[in-house]
Amino acid sequence: MTVDDATALHAERDGKTFYFCSDRCRKKFLSTPATSTPEEKQEQEPQRKTIYTCPMHPEVRQDHPGDCPKCGMALEPETASAGADEEGSAELRDMTRRFWIGAGLTLPVFVLAMAHLIPGIGHDSWVMSDASRWIQFALATPVVCWAGWTFFKRGWQSVMTLHLNMFTLIAIGVGASFVFSVVAMLVPGLFPPTMRDEGRVGIYFEAAAMVTVLVLLGQVLELRARSRTGSAIKALLNLAPPTARKVADGGDEEIPVDQVQVGDQLRVVPGDRVPVDGSVVEGHSSVEESMITGEPLPVEKAVGDKVTGGTVNGTGSFVMRAERVGNDTLLGQIVNMVSEAQRSRAPIQGLADKVAAIFVPVVLAVSVITFAVWMWLGPEPKLAHAIVNAVAVLIIACPCALGLATPMSIMVGVGRGAQLGVLVKNAEALEHLEKVTTLVVDKTGTLTEGKPKLVDTLPVDGFDAKEFLRLAASLEQNSEHPLAAAIVQGAGDQSLDLEAVKDFRSVTAGGVAGTVAGRAVMIGKPDFLRNENITGLESLEASAVKLQEDGKTAMFLAIDGKPAGILAVADPIKSTTAEAVKELQALGLKVVMLTGDNRRTADAVAKQLGLDAVEAEIEPAGKVAHVKKLREEGKHVAMAGDGINDAPALSEAEVGIAMGTGTEVAMQSAGITLVKGDLRGIAQAIRLSRATMSNIRQNLVFAFLYNALGIPVAAGVLYPFFGWLLSPVIAGAAMSLSSVSVISNALRLRNVKL
């Protein structure tokens, strides 16, 4: 587009001329305080780069994707972004492709290598021929050199940084098995006669390929779990509307929400989400704030009241003043808290890495010593014997069983939990759940049903109970308030026929009134009825106190100008909650309730269930602070919740447990989800965690036991006494037996009593 300087609309500022497409834009520019131009802002504010960090070693930080130099894990972004998600998905797709191709190529290698163990197949059969060995070589080579290439890269990195880990073992074990097999097949004469059978030396292509595929499987499972890490944050970000209605002189203007400035006046219409934090300056409405409080009941908002970005407006319309925008909003703070808590978690593979940090150097040292001793004291040919025995040490130390020890138990344990409706989305959740000593629970939707229900109908003398409820429900059917819905549902449960309403009116934060079947009916708070000239409410108010102490909401009903009775609505406690609390306490856990509900209701629920402690009237940040306090006191904390407001605390706790009946944000923030929303599932999950972690430790013992027995034999300690060297049969049997032991032990979890 070309601009005619003489006729174009323009304005001067700071010695510069600015041109505009319309007079409206020019006036807006002139009315706005002088700030940096977009070009200047771009120059002043350098582009923020995504920082990648290791979940296991948060001190590792860099501005590009890669692997952690200490543990080999793939780095993940500090904050969720579309680009980072694409990168994670690409890595998962690549690793999955490598796994399936590798598995397809490994299967025939394994069959050929193990066929001689089948009765009737001797050493002179085709499966033991050179052709079979060449087929194994051809199939195993792409598995090791392509599918497993990333493990060699990470293993080399671990050596260069002197942070030996699981990938060090994998690279050495797989590499030694493969290289030894290639040399043994191509140059069998290099090896002493004791290592040859009919001129052939044993090969280990199946071991190299199997280890590669099994480790790839573990990586795929890990990446799938970690791909969900940013889901909770993205779900939270989606709560904020993309646009806002800015009130302007020429009418409302729809602008992107990230362009809202502090002080802007914004219009919120029925059904819209509040764009940012602020206060109401015009109009009134009811706002559903379960995102903040966890409570299902809307909160009435009038001039001067605070509103929170991401909450849902009801049927009214209002104008608000923006007071906190961007990351300063409560929603933005929740996002930051969830992100920070998620990054603080350590993956379960840390246990294997700690063991590997000791095991790897020991194996390497033993291999070097073995080579040196055989070169010094061994028989001729010294070099051949030294190489054979040094490599044998590495082969027997191949981490096949070690690679299986953790993922097999996790896979079986997760499957067992799924059968019971306990979904484990993060493997580390099972590791941490074993140590939990304190369970923090939300009230609404976790201990309770989360849906208001009519629980008491208390008419005064002279009124029929069904007619009393029928008139009340007829009036409330015109209201969209959740309490009204509970009354209407209560009438429906009794199959009561409702009447049409005339002259219906609603008073914000007060009640409703109208004419039903020719009778004047009013429902609401005592003050509302008094303003309608209803007297004699004292006895009803006295009755309402007991209802409120039991955690119920009392609504007063007047018919034809006289007090008629009370309707009580409550959020009932789940039928299984009391049993679940007793089970958890029997397991040694203290159960603490954190809720945004009022103190009276919270105390009533806590007393009824026999909880160990209760904190009421707290916001999401307060829940997070309480969880942090408990952890600082040395307690191992799990958090169970179902609402958006619970997401930060779910992430801050060592283990987050979400109700399957709750919000998606809560489920994404948690490591464990109870499909049925039944708290008894937590007790089952704890017992499952304890059984799984015990199983993992047993597997690690099995894995290293065979190494402890096999390494000395591989080193040749028995040769001076019996003339024995480690044969391919012994090495293969030891590795196979260790794997079989680990798998068999892990499968026992399928039948463990929970």
Are 703 and 738 spatial neighbours (Cβ–Cβ below 8 Å)? yes
Q: Which helix (H) or strand (E) holds 438?
A: strand 438-441
Sheet holding 511-516, edge to edge: 453-459, 562-570, 553-559, 519-524, 511-516, 501-507
> For 255, phi and psi rounded to 5 degrees?
-130, 155
Task: Give every CB contact of residue 441 below 8 A, 6+ residues apart in sequence.
Answer: 447, 591, 592, 593, 594, 639, 640, 641, 679
Asked if 67 and 157 count as a contact pair (C-beta separation under 8 A), the reply is yes
Residue with tokens 């099972």: 430
Please state, in angstroms and rounded to a whole number, the distance separating the CA atoms of residues 210 and 218: 12
Distance in angstroms (rounded) separating the CA atoms of residues 582 and 210: 46
How is residue 253 written in tokens?
A: 């203007």
| Cα within 13 Å of Cα(693), Cβ side | 18
3-state secondary structure 270-287: CCCECCCEEEEEEEEEEE
Neighbours of 454 (CB within 10 A): 23
Taking alpha carbons only, the member of 463, 464, 460, 514 closest to residue 484 is 514
Calpha distance 641→578 (Å, rounded):
16
What are the CA-CA distances from residue 254 to residues 15, 36, 277, 312 (Å)? Answer: 32, 23, 17, 18
Among 122, 177, 114, residue whose Cα is nearest residue 148: 177
Say which of 353, 442, 642, 646 is annotated catalytic.
Answer: 442
Which residue, chain included where needed, has tokens 């809307």?
Answer: 298
Query: What residues contact 634, with CB distance under 8 A and at least 6 apart?
Result: none
Beta bridge partner(s), residue 566? 458, 556
d(CA 689, CA 711): 33
Give the span between the Cα atoms of 685 and 416, in whole angstroms: 10
Dist. CA 731–CA 395, nearest whole Å: 7
CA distance 136 to 113: 8
Active site residue 442: yes
Q: Residues 264, 270, 276, 277: what is their CA dihedral angle, to the nearest 10 degrees?
A: 90
CA atoms within 13 A on the CB side of 487: 31
- The torsion defined by the Cα of 669, 675, 681 and 685, in degrees rounded to 10, comes to -50
- Each as own residue / partner, the long-range contacts of residues 622-631 (CB below 8 Å, 24 or more positions apart, any chain) are 622/594, 623/440, 623/594, 623/648, 623/649, 624/337, 624/341, 624/648, 624/649, 624/652, 626/440, 626/594, 627/440, 627/652, 627/653, 628/652, 630/438, 630/440, 630/592
Instruction: Give, in order, the Cα–Cα distances in Å from 260 to each of 61, 257, 266, 524, 745.
Output: 32, 5, 9, 38, 59
Q: Where are the beta strands (DSSP E) in 289-433?
A: 299-301, 306-307, 312-313, 317-324, 422-424
14 token code pair: 């700071």
- Say if CB 376 and CB 674 are below 8 A apart: no
What token pair was written down for 232? 């909770």
Please give the positions annotated as active site: 442
